[in-house]
A and B are shown apart, each in its own frame.
Chain A
Amino acid sequence: MTEKIENPTLPVQVLSDFNSLGIKELKNLSAQNLWSLNEKEILAVQAYFRSLKRNPTRAEIETVAQSWSEHCRHKTFKSPIRYQEGSKTVLIKNLFEETIARATRQTKKPWCLSVFKDNAGIVSFGKKGQWALAFKVETHNHPCAIEPKGGAETGLGGVIRDVLAAGLGAKPVLSTDIFCVAPPDKKLSLPPKALSPERILRGLIAGVRDYGNRMGIPTAAGGLYFDEGYALNPLVFVGSVGVLPAKAVKKEIRPGDLIVVAGGLTGKDGLHGATFSSANLNGDDHSTAVQIGHPLNEKRVMEALLNARDKKLYHSVTDCGAGGLSSAITEMADIVGARVQLEKESLKASDMEPWEIWVSESQERMVFAVPPSNLKAFEKVFADEGVESRVVGEFVKTGRIEVLWNGRPLINLSLKFISNGIPVEEKKAVYIPPKGNESRALPKKSLAENLKNILSHLNVCSREWLIRQYDHEVQGGTVIKPLQGTRHDGPGDASVIWPQAATKDVSDLSGFAVGHGLNPASGKLDPYQMAWLCADEALRNILCVGADISRAAFLDNFCWGNPENPQVLGSLVKAAMGCRDASLGFQIPFISGKDSLYNESKDASGKMVSIPGTLLISAIAPVPNIEKAVTMDMKGPGNSLYLVGQTGEDMGGSLYHEINGLAGGAVPRVDARCARRNFAAVYQAMSKGLVASAHDLSEGGLLTAVAEMAFSGEFGAMIDLDALPKQKPIYSAEVLLFSETPSRILLEVKPEHEAAFLKCVKGSCVKRVGSSIANPIIKIIGLDGLVLFEESTAPFKAAWQRTVLS
């Protein structure tokens, strides 16, 4: 372990002329110190200290800057926005409240145990509801652009700590990761310090692999998405699911509780990570803003925490993430108050200013509220795991945050000022729908050629090369694997986790599934519909493995460019409205979310480039009996194939368009009422064991899904296009085969189950469209009744099985 060093006694730094500075000097000061406080904010800080008739210490301004940062405050989502669309202008007082939070309230789900408040969303779980699932997905974009491996490690480490600090602590049972990067096989001209997409991708994978595998948490249910728009600002989403006893959801600090920091020592790593996330990347060196992770230390903290939780040794816990002790203690003190003796913190660097200790983001630290009577037992539990714990202060009923440094006042701020003092700034948003250009006539490439191009497309092709690097089976609970089929290499829609290592109860067969929806291509055309499509896709993914989606919960993650740009903000508002409507439409609540803005950088020519507005919706739902779970591989010959949902002419933003260089067309719309009815019927059939396989129709449409099911199960399929349920007459085989109409699923049903199956799906749009065959070929009967397509599956599987990075 790192050696602990004696505390230094550097003096308290007072900004002696702060109250007399003019606005220009204040702004310079904010920029120099990486505070990311804007003009209004720094003036509000000055006004506060003028009213106190004293100059602030540097530590005080750092505290305010951390707490007011975009990272901690989500200013864009919570401040007023004047939103203009067409000739109409409305004032949105609080975007988050009026969209996502409102929808969640309106869905009124009693099994939501904690939404938006804690470090993760928490829902009820288990045979008798005696357990709960904590789920959190967040981004770690800015650090990963500079140091991909370190960024991915600390990103994963951070979200795992969020779950460890959800309620009184959940045991992480699944990690999930999604990377959005530029295609590694394309020559791009990048500015000087920017890393190549290949290097970024390799680093990200290595980071998640090395950290996650060592933590002993399975990594599954991930994704990769390639678009040139991520060349300068890669997106890294990391998520964690944990299991905790339902009784351990509630946390409450009591005055008199000791503030105990446990875990790694504090050093200079990760100064200004929180405020840095409000800045755009412009080639300057921010290396101190990225931290270094150490999985073994985090694992020790995890073991000790779970042990202390079960012994009920503390009242509350939070993780030390962005903003370090400053954010953690200020957040915990909330309405109570805290008094800290900062010199009691243990350090690993000798030349640290007191303010640096206060905001350092050194990893693998947690803060606990421990009643004094439990302190001895608490310290022993942590010492037994080899984790250092130290009392740095106590929670007191003062409504203030007071920090002393060797007896001298370092910080003395009212919590009211920290939480409410931030000046509200109205932002402007304009939504201008992208011009829909006419779709050109479809090119005449053969169906086989199109299918091959789709299957080998970066966003569709096999991720086996990546998935196998992650230990996705540790904890012995991965009962549906990410790779499915006869040869364990087909594209599963989701994994199912049976968290026996957390419940220690093998008689409880409750499991859960996690799925994601991400569709930036449609967002470029219509951000509102993108939200619907993401929700729909996330739901279908988990439904296809047998999850009970009437108990599903959503997480949102918004990654956008600079919200000061009204058009960028306009598309963000539109996507948030889509989230609200999708949540209400599907009657599925959001339980947690995050946003990462300012994802823009100067390109090689010096032009500021923003990422495509990217929304990730993650869904989690229980699989009440894991023995009823379903996979996507075709199970045998002579079974019926049923298509759920009608097919429409939905080529806008489709992969077929992309590979053929076509633009335009409308982005598909989700018919929520119809989808809900269909999905409920499908789940009913699955829970009765009537569905042999299920696969969702996503990128590449019907033909892609059929091919994947067939080659994964090593059988063939025959589809009759005339039998397809259609929204209106469609005469183009290309459209029927490659359209990306949402809410569709292909099911395989054995003859002996067909009658019972048909009873289950009565009244919903589920039609028999073909059958499975023994011969491994795909056969499509055209609208004219003639064979349109008859090809062996082998070359398609070969096209799909490309390795992106060897």
Chain B
Amino acid sequence: MKSPKVLILSAPGTNCAVETSNAFAELGAKPEIVSLRLFKEKRVRLLDYDIFILPGGFSYGDEISAGRILAAQVKIHIADIKNFIRMGRPVIGICNGFQVLVKAGILPFSPSCEQSASFVANDSGRFEDRWVHLRINTQNPSLFFKGLPEMIELPVAHGEGKLVLRSPKQLEDLKRNRSIAMQYVSDDGKIAPYPANPNGSVFNIAALTNPDGNCLGMMPHPERYTKIHHHPNWTRQTFQKQAFGMAILKNAVDYCRG
């Protein structure tokens, strides 16, 4: 497959669809920003696409709570999404998209798709935009981190990014089935409190996958680091040579190309 088709879901309040689409186009994929309405009207079939993206933003104004309303809408199409994931096709929920995946019960993964975790307001009590250091879990089977170093940087920008789990046991389960994809760390790679952990997430979790590693939910924004000039320190020229956000998206495209 030369140009994988990418479905970028848009709903009222979705903000990051265009830059995500630009990134996929630059990678040679065929991105389409598809309104949720077309789904509802059955004019679009998810299974006609190779990659499924839930982009960032404030879907439905994040009323009730972040991603809650869109999650309920997405849930209507849960059978299609489950199929899509089961077929091994890449899914990425970014920021608000991750919140939607969690509130729709798609992550943390369970066969019944029952919601088992949630997001609450950042410990700081407010919206924050900052670049964070992330450690990729090398045990995670995911297809998204091939060729990336263990430590990367990406920006986060959210007000409700603190991941909370149902129980300590659930955390142990996530560790055991290697579903934790990325953790917030300090610049020397240690698990550290705020501001290294920008929101207070349990176990500094920044990203999760399903156990098969093809469905990724992440709070940081890969589409905001698609060019080295996105990095806050590119003028210092002392940092990594690769735009890590683009590398993550490229892995999804390369995976589809086989």
Task: Report the bound CA distance from A104 to B227 in whole Å.
Answer: 38
The yes or no answer to B57 lying at the interface (CB within 8 A) is yes
Contacts of A483 in B (CB 8 A): 232
Contacts of B37 in A (CB 8 A): 384
Most buried by A among B62, B130, B227, B236: B236
The yes or no answer to A209 lying at the interface (CB within 8 A) is yes
Contacts of B130 in A (CB 8 A): 468, 488
Distance in angstroms from A438 CB to nearest chain B CB is 45
Contact yes or no, A386 B226, CB < 8 A? no
Contact yes or no, A504 B18, CB < 8 A? yes
The yes or no answer to B12 lying at the interface (CB within 8 A) is yes
The yes or no answer to A349 lying at the interface (CB within 8 A) is no
The yes or no answer to B5 lying at the interface (CB within 8 A) is no
The yes or no answer to A484 lying at the interface (CB within 8 A) is yes
Q: How many of chain A's residues have a CB under 8 angstroms from any CB in B?
A: 46
Contacts of B131 in A (CB 8 A): 488
The yes or no answer to B61 lying at the interface (CB within 8 A) is yes
Interface stretch, picked from B106-114, B121-129, B211-219, is B121-129
The yes or no answer to A474 lying at the interface (CB within 8 A) is yes
The yes or no answer to A472 lying at the interface (CB within 8 A) is yes
Q: How many inter-chain contacts with C-beta < 8 Å in the A-B complex?
A: 112
Contact yes or no, B22 A476, CB < 8 A? yes
Contact yes or no, B129 A471, CB < 8 A? yes
The yes or no answer to A635 lying at the interface (CB within 8 A) is yes
Using a CB-CB cutoff of 8 Å, which residues 464-479 of chain A contact chain B? Answer: 467-479
Contacts of A498 in B (CB 8 A): 229
The yes or no answer to B230 lying at the interface (CB within 8 A) is yes
Task: Report the bound CA distance from A70 to B58 in whole Å.
Answer: 37
The yes or no answer to A657 lying at the interface (CB within 8 A) is no
Q: Which of A467, A506, A713 contacts B22 (CB 8 A)?
A: A506
Contact yes or no, B22 A500, CB < 8 A? yes
Contacts of B126 in A (CB 8 A): 209, 469
Distance in angstroms from A334 CB to nearest chain B CB is 34
Contacts of A385 in B (CB 8 A): 12
Using a CB-CB cutoff of 8 Å, which residues 193-242 of chain B contact chain A? Answer: 221, 223-224, 226-227, 229-230, 232-236
Task: Report the bound CA distance from A498 to B234 in whole Å.
Answer: 15
Known: A629-B235, A633-B236. A296 touches B19 (CB 8 A): no
Distance in angstroms from A659 CB to nearest chain B CB is 30
Known: A213-B127, A471-B127, A476-B230. A295 touches B19 (CB 8 A): no
The yes or no answer to B15 lying at the interface (CB within 8 A) is yes
Contact yes or no, A484 B232, CB < 8 A? yes
Contact yes or no, A631 B22, CB < 8 A? no
Task: Report the bound CA distance from A504 to B19 in whole Å.
Answer: 8
A295 to B, closest residue via Cβ: B61
Contact yes or no, A472 B232, CB < 8 A? no
Known: A384-B35, A475-B18. A626 touches B13 (CB 8 A): no
Q: 0/1 per residue, A201-232, Cβ < 8 Å to B?
A: 00000000100011110000000000000000
Known: A384-B37, A631-B235. A501 touches B22 (CB 8 A): yes
Contact yes or no, A296 B13, CB < 8 A? yes
Contacts of B12 in A (CB 8 A): 296, 299-300, 385-386
Distance in angstroms from B32 CB to nearest chain A CB is 13
Contacts of B224 in A (CB 8 A): 473-474, 476
Known: A209-B127, A479-B229. A504 touches B15 (CB 8 A): no
The yes or no answer to A616 lying at the interface (CB within 8 A) is no
Contact yes or no, B155 A473, CB < 8 A? yes
Contacts of A501 in B (CB 8 A): 18-19, 22
Distance in angstroms from B202 CB to nearest chain A CB is 22
Contacts of A467 in B (CB 8 A): 129
Q: Which of B19, B57, B60, B234 contacts A500 (CB 8 A)?
A: B19
A475 to B, closest residue via Cβ: B19
Task: Report the bound CA distance from A2 to B57 in whole Å.
Answer: 22
A476 to B, closest residue via Cβ: B19
A492 to B, closest residue via Cβ: B232
Q: 0/1 per residue, B28-71, Cβ < 8 Å to A?
A: 00000001010000000000000000001110111000000000
The yes or no answer to A481 lying at the interface (CB within 8 A) is yes
Task: Report the bound CA distance from A627 to B18 in whole Å.
Answer: 22
Contact yes or no, B15 A474, CB < 8 A? yes
A502 to B, closest residue via Cβ: B18
The yes or no answer to B16 lying at the interface (CB within 8 A) is yes
Q: Which of B35, B58, B128, B230 contacts A214 (CB 8 A)?
A: B58
B228 to A, closest residue via Cβ: A627
The yes or no answer to B26 lying at the interface (CB within 8 A) is yes
The yes or no answer to B81 lying at the interface (CB within 8 A) is no
The yes or no answer to A486 lying at the interface (CB within 8 A) is yes
The yes or no answer to A325 lying at the interface (CB within 8 A) is no
Q: Which of B26, B57, B128 contacts A216 (CB 8 A)?
A: B57
Task: Report the bound CA distance from A635 to B239 in whole Å.
Answer: 13
Contacts of B58 in A (CB 8 A): 213-214, 216, 295-296
Q: Which of B57, B128, B155, B235 contacts A469 (CB 8 A)?
A: B128
Task: Report the bound CA distance from A295 to B62 in whole Å.
Answer: 11
Distance in angstroms from A486 CB to nearest chain B CB is 7
Distance in angstroms from A511 CB to nearest chain B CB is 9
Task: Report the bound CA distance from A476 to B37 in whole Å.
Answer: 26
A464 to B, closest residue via Cβ: B130
Contact yes or no, A470 B57, CB < 8 A? no
Contact yes or no, A473 B236, CB < 8 A? no
Contact yes or no, A488 B223, CB < 8 A? no
Contacts of B60 in A (CB 8 A): 296
Contact yes or no, B233 A216, CB < 8 A? no
Contacts of A472 in B (CB 8 A): 129
Contact yes or no, B16 A474, CB < 8 A? yes
Distance in angstroms from A689 CB to nearest chain B CB is 11
Contacts of B62 in A (CB 8 A): 214
A511 to B, closest residue via Cβ: B229
Q: Which of B13, B22, B129 contacts A299 (CB 8 A)?
A: B13
Most buried by A among B19, B129, B227, B230: B129
Could you list 21 examples of A-B contacts with CB < 8 Å? Answer: A213-B159, A215-B15, A296-B13, A299-B13, A468-B129, A473-B155, A474-B157, A474-B224, A476-B23, A478-B230, A480-B235, A488-B131, A488-B232, A488-B233, A504-B18, A506-B22, A506-B25, A506-B227, A629-B229, A631-B236, A713-B236
Q: Can you name 10 extra interface pairs (CB under 8 A) apart from A467-B129, A476-B22, A476-B224?
A: A469-B126, A472-B129, A476-B19, A476-B230, A479-B229, A486-B233, A500-B22, A626-B229, A629-B235, A631-B236
Q: Which residues of B are at the interface with A, using a C-beta cutoff of 8 A?
A: 12-16, 18-19, 21-23, 25-26, 35, 37, 56-58, 60-62, 126-131, 155, 157, 159, 221, 223-224, 226-227, 229-230, 232-236
Q: Which residues of A are at the interface with B, using a C-beta cutoff of 8 A?
A: 209, 213-216, 295-296, 299-300, 384-386, 467-481, 483-486, 488, 498, 500-501, 504, 506, 626-627, 629-631, 633, 635, 693, 713
